[in-house]
Amino acid sequence: MSSRKNNTILINHEAYGALELIQNQIFSKFNRLMDEKEANEVYETGFLNGEPMPYSFIFAPFGKRNQECLRSACGGDKIELIKDNKVVGNIIVDTIFKFDQKNKANNIFHANEMIQTEVNQSGELAVSGEIEIYSSTFSDVKKEINRIKEESNAQKITAIMLTAEPFNRAHERLIRMTIDKADLVLLFLLKSYSSDWQLKFDLKKRVMEYFAQNYLPRNRLVIVPFENSNLFSAHMNPTLECIAANSLGADKLVVGQNHAGIGMFYDHNVVHTVLERYKEILKLEIVILPELVYCNECRTIVSTKTCPHGQHHHIKYHASTLKSLLNEGILPPAILMRRDISSMILSELFPNRFKNLQKLYDDLFPSNGLLEKHTEREFYEELMQLYQTMSLT
Q: Give the pLDDT confidence of 335-384 residue by residue, as tens digits.
A: 999 999 999 999 999 998 888 888 888 888 887 766 678 889 988 888 88
Whether 367 maps to a domain, the answer reads: yes
Whether 392 maps to a domain, the answer reads: no
Pair (16, 146) in one structural domain: no
Pair (280, 347) in one structural domain: no
Whether 319 maps to a domain, the answer reads: no
> Which residue would you say has higher pLDDT here, 297 or 290?
297
pTM exceeding 0.85: yes
Single out the residue in 269, 294, 319 at which a domain terminates: 294
Whether 256 maps to a domain, the answer reads: yes
Nearest to 186 by CA among 214, 215, 154: 154
Pair (227, 239) in one structural domain: yes
Whether 189 maps to a domain, the answer reads: yes
Single out the residue in 134, 149, 166 at which a domain terminates: 134
**Is the pLDDT confidence value at 263 over 70?**
no
Whether 314 maps to a domain, the answer reads: no
- Stretch 321-326: mean pLDDT: 93
Domain around 348: 329-387
Single out the residue in 134, 160, 193 at which a domain terminates: 134
Pair (17, 117) in one structural domain: yes
- Stretch 49-68: mean pLDDT: 95
What digits encode the pLDDT tens for the residues 178-215? 999 999 999 999 988 765 678 999 999 999 999 999 99
Pair (52, 182) in one structural domain: no
Q: Over pLDDT 90: what percentage of the chain?
A: 65
Pair (93, 117) in one structural domain: yes
Pair (69, 201) in one structural domain: no
Whether 228 maps to a domain, the answer reads: yes
Residue 71 burial by Cβ neighbours in a 10 Å radius (0-12, 13-18, 19+): exposed
Provide the domain count of the chain.
3
Contacts of 35 (CB under 8 A, 6+ apart): 94, 95, 97, 128
Amino acid, single-letter form, for residue 81: L
Pair (115, 181) in one structural domain: no
Whether 307 maps to a domain, the answer reads: no
The mean of the pLDDT values for the chain is 88
